């Protein structure tokens, strides 16, 4: 990337003082030009890039910020691409948004631009979960859709995710096609802001009910919920969109003792009660766990701002709440779905599940145990959607997830669905109770039957151009000079997803990896450990995923076996000099 000089940045910023920009924007840019050079540089040193997932950035004025102009250029480019694909005949799109500051404003702006381009627009009346947007695209047979969200990023961020007609985020060839059209928009004067109200239909309760009806179809044991409907469930939306759909879904399933965290039920894009609105972070569930202890609840669940990710806490064998990670939640849900399909004789023989390449391989062992086909895809639920679409005439997707707290039961939605996942976790809790055990004890039984897999993720943050160069150098080093041993265990296989080659070190052979190119490396060790390395696609960090495993002879051996596995992970991290 060529770095602009301060004079070039000032010229670029000066172009935002024209009449085509609103008063608020011109005022903010003038303030930066006159009084805040650092803020000016950050806002204009580059253009906010429309990537394969859309836009995400800090809100404010400038080419490197989320605002109605950068969003507008993205929407106009997307509109131009849709017209080229659909010949501007009866085109419709759906739009949803979450709780973030400016989300409603950005959604309305997006709706205006789509309608000005002649599209029929379905706009949700208020914030809704991302999975409901995916459902709406499919139900209303839209050509495309957009959700305004920055997922679990800090409060100053917002984002824009683009979807295609299957309800999944855009994949090849549409992703590159859209990016090319967005790049062709060289001026805000090309954006059609003059919306046509008669082309915008507001979605509300009718769509909610249709969505919840599909969520309810995922239930596998309604009669068990009837017997255990009073299970105490604490749920928090962490100020986000989950408040609209998760409690109604739980009630529809039959649960009666749903306990809220009132302070976090309040819709607020500043997320005042948490450091980060991310259910992967322990702090985000602190208030909910406190409420569970006070009320004697058995289960704690939290969703992120757009309600596509789910975090849960359960009671351990000491009757204390512990957080489960995304792998553990995925393992429980896959096991529950597969075991109940078998028990209720629902199998037709063409079912399959999906996981990502960095998600626990225990899910594969469970699938093998139930003789169900499984697929590995790259990180991101757009690849789930792509595979489901490819297989939908011959095979039936019934569940799958990723380690980063996303899960999708059923195929009526084509993105992570924390609404249905919350309902199924609650149902699995009731099922476990019907068998005289807790959800945590069920997880231990799964470990005994299929193997104890332990995972850990380390993020190494490297900001700015120097950081990006350092991350690139790390990947080049691992790729060109791979380790022969890690923690005194031989590397016996390397998967290079950029070269799309799997190297069997012991046999000296190569096989093709039939997945899209991606900058990911995996090292498989002789002792069964697996290390995956990939740069983040949305943040300035490189991610290291560690997976180790062992047999678990009995539930009573859990604690000591866990210590052994934790020590092995820590030894691998030390050997790779990551601490």
Which positions are annotated as active-site residues?
A: 151
CB-based contact 295:262 (threshold 8 Å): no
* Terminal Cα-to-Cα distance of the chain (whole angstroms): 30
User: From CA 488, how far away is CA 525, in angstroms rounded?
Assistant: 9
Tokens matching residue 142: 């839209």
**Helix H or strand E segment including 83:** helix 68-86
User: From CA 146, how far away is CA 144, in angstroms rounded?
Assistant: 7
Query: Interior CA angle at 147 toward 88 and 12, to 5°?
Result: 85
User: From CA 39, how far away is CA 529, in angstroms rounded?
Assistant: 45
Location of structure tokens 């989320």: 66
User: From CA 93, how far away is CA 82, in angstroms rounded?
Assistant: 10
Query: Interior CA angle at 111 toward 106 and 114, to 5°?
Result: 125
Report which of 561, 168, 250 is spatially closest to residue 418, judged by C-alpha positions. Answer: 250
Alpha-carbon separation of residue 568 from 199, 444, 491, 562 (angstroms): 59, 20, 15, 10
CB-based contact 441:432 (threshold 8 Å): yes
CB-based contact 302:285 (threshold 8 Å): yes
Q: How many CA atoms lie within 13 A of 17 on its CB side?
A: 12
Strands 489-496, 521-525: pairing kind? antiparallel
CB-based contact 112:75 (threshold 8 Å): no
Tokens matching residue 38: 């650092």
CB atoms within 10 A of CB 539: 13
CB-based contact 54:161 (threshold 8 Å): yes
Report which of 400, 338, 367, 403 is spatially closest to residue 547, judged by C-alpha positions. Answer: 403
Alpha-carbon separation of residue 378 from 374, 500, 517, 532 (angstroms): 14, 12, 9, 12
DSSP-assigned states of every residue in 433-455: HHTT--HHHHHHHHHHHH-EEEE
CB-based contact 293:321 (threshold 8 Å): yes
Kindly calculate the radius of gyration of the chain based on its CA atoms and give it in whole angstroms.
24
> In 3-state terms, what secondary structure has residue 559?
helix
User: From CA 106, how far away is CA 112, in angstroms rounded?
Assistant: 10
Virtual torsion, Cα 262, 266, 270, 276, nearest 10 deg = 50
CB atoms within 10 A of CB 39: 15
Is cis: bond before 173, omega within 30 of 0? yes
Tokens matching residue 323: 């957080």
**Residue 193: exposure state from Cβ atoms within 10 A (0-12, 13-18, ≥19):** middle
């Amino acid at each position: 990337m060529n770095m602009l000089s301060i004079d070039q940045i000032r010229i670029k910023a000066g172009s935002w003082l024209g009449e085509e920009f609103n008063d608020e924007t011109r005022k903010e840019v003038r303030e930066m030009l006159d009084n805040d050079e650092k803020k000016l540089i950050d806002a204009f040193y580059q253009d906010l890039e429309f990537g394969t997932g859309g836009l995400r950035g800090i809100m404010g004025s400038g080419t490197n910020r989320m605002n109605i102009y950068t969003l507008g250029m993205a929407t106009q480019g997307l509109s131009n691409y849709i017209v080229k694909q659909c010949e501007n005949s009866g085109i419709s799109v759906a739009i949803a948004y979450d709780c973030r500051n400016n989300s409603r404003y950005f959604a309305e702006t997006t709706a205006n631009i789509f309608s000005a381009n002649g599209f029929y627009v379905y706009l949700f009346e208020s914030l809704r979960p991302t999975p409901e947007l995916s459902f709406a695209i499919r139900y209303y047979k839209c050509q495309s859709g957009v959700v305004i969200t920055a997922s679990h990023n800090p409060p100053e961020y917002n984002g824009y995710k683009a979807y295609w007609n299957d309800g999944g985020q855009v994949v090849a060839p549409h992703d590159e096609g859209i990016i090319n059209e967005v790049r062709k928009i060289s001026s805000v004067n090309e954006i059609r802001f003059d919306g046509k109200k008669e082309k915008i239909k507001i979605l509300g309760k009718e769509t909610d009910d249709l969505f919840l009806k599909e969520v309810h179809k995922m239930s596998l044991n309604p009669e068990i919920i009837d017997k255990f409907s009073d299970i105490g469930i604490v749920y928090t939306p962490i100020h986000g969109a989950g408040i609209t759909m998760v409690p109604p879904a739980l009630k529809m399933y039959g649960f009666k003792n749903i306990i809220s965290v009132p302070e976090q039920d309040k819709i607020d894009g500043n997320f005042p009660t948490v450091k980060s609105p991310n259910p992967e972070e322990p702090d985000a569930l602190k208030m909910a766990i406190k409420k569970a202890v006070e009320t004697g609840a058995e289960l704690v669940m939290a969703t992120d701002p757009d309600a596509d990710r789910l975090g849960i806490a359960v009671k351990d064998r000491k009757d204390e709440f512990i957080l489960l990670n995304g792998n553990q939640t995925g393992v429980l849900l896959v096991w529950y779905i597969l075991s109940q399909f078998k028990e209720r004789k629902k199998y037709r023989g063409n079912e399959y599940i999906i996981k990502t390449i960095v998600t626990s391989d225990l899910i594969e062992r469970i699938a093998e145990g139930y003789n169900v086909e499984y697929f590995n895809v790259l990180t991101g639920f757009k690849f789930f959607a792509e595979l489901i679409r490819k297989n939908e005439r011959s095979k039936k997707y019934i569940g799958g997830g990723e380690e980063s707290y996303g899960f999708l039961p059923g195929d009526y939605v084509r993105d992570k669905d924390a609404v249905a996942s919350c309902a199924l976790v609650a149902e699995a809790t009731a099922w476990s109770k019907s068998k005289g055990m807790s959800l945590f004890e069920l997880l231990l039984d799964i470990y005994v039957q299929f193997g104890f897999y332990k995972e850990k993720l380390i993020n190494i943050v490297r900001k700015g151009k120097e950081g990006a160069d350092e991350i690139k150098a790390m990947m080049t080093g691992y790729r060109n000079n791979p380790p022969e041993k890690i923690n005194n265990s031989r590397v016996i296989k390397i998967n290079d997803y950029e070269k799309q080659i799997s190297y069997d070190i012991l046999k000296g052979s190569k096989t093709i990896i039939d997945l899209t190119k991606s900058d990911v490396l995996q090292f498989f060790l002789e002792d069964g450990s697996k290390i995956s390395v990939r740069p983040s696609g949305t943040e300035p960090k490189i991610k290291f995923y560690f997976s180790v495993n062992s047999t678990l002879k009995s539930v009573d051996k859990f604690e000591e076996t866990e210590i052994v596995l934790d020590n092995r992970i820590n030894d691998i991290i030390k050997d790779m000099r990551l601490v």
